[in-house]
Amino acid sequence: MTTFDRRDFLRVVGAAGAVTGLGSLMWPLQAFAGASGKVVVVGGGFGGATCARYLKRWGPDLEVTLVERDSSFITCPFSNEVIAGDLDISKITHGYDSFAGLGVKVVHDEVSGIDAGGKSLKLKGGSSLKYDKLVLSPGIAFRWGSIENDQAATQEAMPHAWKAGPQTLLLRKQLQAMKDGGTLIIVPPKKPFRCPPGPYERASLMAHYLKTNKPKSKILILDSNPSHSKQAAFHEGWASEYGNMIEWVKDTDGGAISSADAGTMTLRNDFGDEYKGDVINLIPYQKAGALVEDNGLTNKDGWCNVDMGTFESKVAKDVHIIGDACVAGAMPKSGHSAASQAKNCAAAIVSGLAGNAPPEPTYANTCYSLIAPTYGISVAAVYRLKEGVIVKVSGGVSKVGNKDRVHKNEAKYARGWYKSITMDMFG
């Protein structure tokens, strides 16, 4: 593994969403020439929106259709700032108007069934679509019941806010209503889950709100995992910014929650310990989105096995699955990962429809986290395909002991990254 100086490394992959697939900078465009056919992309998030745009960019003669239920997309990245009251949700809401100008047809509907053999899919609105290649980017679904009494109804009292939208605003409202001196409990799900740093950034920004508005309060993170992403950098930041306001309890120390009681706002572990919270952010265990599960495309663990070079499903020919739903080797389930996979998938599809071998894939991930509005940390990595598996070949993570100016710059880079990657997705 080659290790770069982190600042130099981040100059390469950190701020520019356009390089979520580094290989796209050096792929020979002649490999895409002459591609034709029908490609349907389902899901308009980081994976699907990016894939649809790049399919049309690299294959201008392709007939590309994007199927997305909602008329706008609310990003999970920066939703923690919305919860903490530092950002309006409109700032992370994006529409699909720009796709028409690219020649991508957008259909706002849901898929009710996939006929992989007949290369068609049915929509709930009653119509159907034929395809030569199908790309699915369904995101995640929740494993209700992995914790006793953890079910959809529980989430009105203990919101997950893990799909940005109404739950984001509900958790924000509960935080603002919490008394000074109250206890906020965050329950991260067992790995794997979408955006591994997400719960810990959320704790950070909610702590920033409480420090400013309700300084007698406490945040308790009850974790079913033995460790978490960017752990050393997070814990240093928590101590620096919030003193002892945040307490993290790992699985073996009692953090693994086994049951929840929404009526009494109580959580329990297998040791018989009880934790009561004034606000509880209970994030369910996760699996691939319902679309792929309902159509028999998931493995026994609830995720989708794919060819990691082309992202073609292992169980359905000409069906490609990208983003959070797929098993992608060393890549985490993040927005940047999904966009990087989308570009590699698009390149494989366009070159294949042009009658050429797919270009050699190169993948990237960058994940920024805000410990406070002006205190950022990050992790970045480059991946390649080795013997059919995506492996990390280079990368870096924020060091403990960085100076304040480094953290301030990281916070700026985080906002630059967001602006860049969402422009790359939505124009």
Q: According to the model, what pLDDT value does residue 13 have?
A: 46
pLDDT at 7 over 70: no
Q: According to the model, what pLDDT value does residue 27 have?
A: 75
Q: According to the model, what pLDDT value does residue 22 have?
A: 58
Average pLDDT in the 231-245 region?
98
Stated pTM of the model:
0.94
Q: Which of 1-10, 71-80, 197-206 is predicted with the least confidence, judged by mean pLDDT?
A: 1-10
Q: According to the model, what pLDDT value does residue 30 have?
A: 86
Radius of gyration of the chain (CA): 21
243: left (phi over 0), alpha (psi -120 to 50) or beta: left
The closest alpha carbon to 344, from 94, 26, 14, 111, belongs to 26
Q: According to the model, what pLDDT value does residue 131 have?
A: 98
pLDDT digits (tens, 9 = 90+) for 312-362: 999 999 999 999 999 999 999 999 999 999 999 999 999 999 999 999 999
Q: What is the DSSP string of 160-201?
A: ---SSSHHHHHHHHHHHHSPTT-EEEEEPPSSS-SSTTHHHH
- Domains in the chain (CATH in brackets) are 148-282 (3.50.50.60)
pLDDT at 6 over 80: no
What is the number of alpha carbons within 13 Å of residue 185 lying toward its C-beta?
23
Average pLDDT in the 41-61 region?
98
Average pLDDT, rounded, for the chain: 94
Q: What is the DSSP string of 273-304?
A: -EEE-SEEEE---EEE-HHHHHTT---TTSSB
Q: According to the model, what pLDDT value does residue 9 have?
A: 47
pLDDT at 142 over 90: yes
